[in-house]
Amino acid sequence: MKKNIITLLALIFPRIFVRKAYKKLTLPKFYPYREYEKNILEDALITNVTFKKGNIKTYKWTGGPKKILLIHGWEGRVTNFSVLIHQLIKAGFTVYGFDAPSHGLSDKVKTSLFDFVDLVGEMIERIKPEIAVSHSFGAVATIYSLAQNSDLKLDKYVLLTCPDKFLERIEAVAYDFGLTKGVVNRLIVKIERDHNIDVKKLNVSEFVKKAKVSKAYILHDQDDRQLPLSQAVYVDQNWPNSELEIVQGTGHFRILRDEGVIEKILKFIKS
């Protein structure tokens, strides 16, 4: 259906399209596993952990004394880091990861971005990693968790793409549906009512001021079509302990398995 037709229908039936957009923010899409993702799972210690409405899968690859936690993005899973996991094990790190609720191999349940945040906080508290690596929305969940709990801390943190404003995530979903400004406002009201939050205050650039991270390293592609570089730039400007490196030719997803990027990550965490 063409976007201009959807926009017209959204004007006529706003409640229906608010529900559709809200569903996308609560029911992540599942993508089939690729062969290299299946291979990395064969080497993992996989455990079921109860979390809220169902079980989640947690993963461990033993490689050495230092612990690294991997935090995937919305509609992602731990195997998105398959290429990096191989290199981290070779470098002598023990790697931990998980599939968030309704992601990857975890139970398919109705969830939300806020469940994701709560889970990341629990994982950091349980594993106590010295280092974390996140992708996309994983940065929002990680930074928010660190900001809300002063007992949580990281020595080093790598952010592969970095969002800032949660409001922009909502607007991106709305754009996919061709929603009008009025319908978007209805969607925001529903989210704020259901979760008792102020969406405008959910900004990574503010959370980083309270997060206990000794050194942060942001890698963001200048032509990322999912997340504008400007978001990462603004976060970096508000984060005294961060370094931003702008890369090219990796986009939003290929950055996870780009050899040059992985070399930069290893250099940073081993320095």
pLDDT band at 22 (very low <50, low <70, confident <90, very high): low
Q: Which long-range contacts (C-beta less than 8 Å, at least 24 apart) are formed by 51-55?
A: 51/101, 51/115, 51/119, 51/122, 52/101, 52/109, 52/115, 52/118, 53/101, 53/107, 53/109, 53/110, 53/111, 54/101, 54/106, 54/107, 54/108, 54/109, 55/106, 55/107
Nearest to 219 by CA among 269, 149, 169, 154: 269
Using alpha carbons, select from 24, 11, 19 the residue that is nearest to residue 190. 19
Which of 202, 221, 255 is the endpoint of a domain? 202
Closest CA to 80 of 101, 117, 105: 105
Q: Is residue 126 located within the same domain as residue 244?
A: yes
Q: Which residue has the tokens 């612990």?
A: 67
174 and 130 belong to one structural domain: no
From the CA atom positions of the chain, what is the Rg in Å?
18
Structural domain count, the chain: 2
Residues 154 and 91 grouped into a single domain: yes
Say yes or no: 72 and 184 in one domain.
no
Residues of the domain holding 262: 39-164+207-270
pLDDT-wise least confident of 26-40, 120-134, 188-202: 188-202
Quote the tokens at residue 144: 């928010």
Query: Is the same domain home to 233 and 253?
Result: yes
Rounding to the nearest 10 degrees, give the CA dihedral for residues 259, 260, 264, 270.
40
What's the CA gap between 268 and 217, in Å, rounded?
8
pTM, entire model: 0.88
d(C-alpha 210, C-alpha 138), whole Å: 17
CA distance 118 to 141: 8
**What is the structure's pLDDT at 17?**
56
125 with 227, same domain: the answer is yes
Classify residue 51 as exposed, middle or buried by CB count within 10 Å of its CB (0-12, 13-18, 19+): buried
pLDDT 10s digits, 83-126: 999 999 999 999 999 999 999 999 988 887 788 889 999 999 99
Distance between CA atoms of residues 89 and 83, nearest Å: 10
- Check residue 95 and give its pLDDT: 98
> Are 44 and 131 within one domain?
yes
Contact of 214 with 225, CB cutoff 8 Å? no
What pLDDT digit, counting tens, does each position of 156-206 carry? Answer: 999 999 999 877 777 766 666 666 677 777 777 777 787 777 878 889 999
CATH number of the CATH domain containing 159: 3.40.50.1820
Give yes or no: residues 230 and 116 share one domain: yes
Regarding whether 243 and 177 lie in a shared domain, the answer is: no
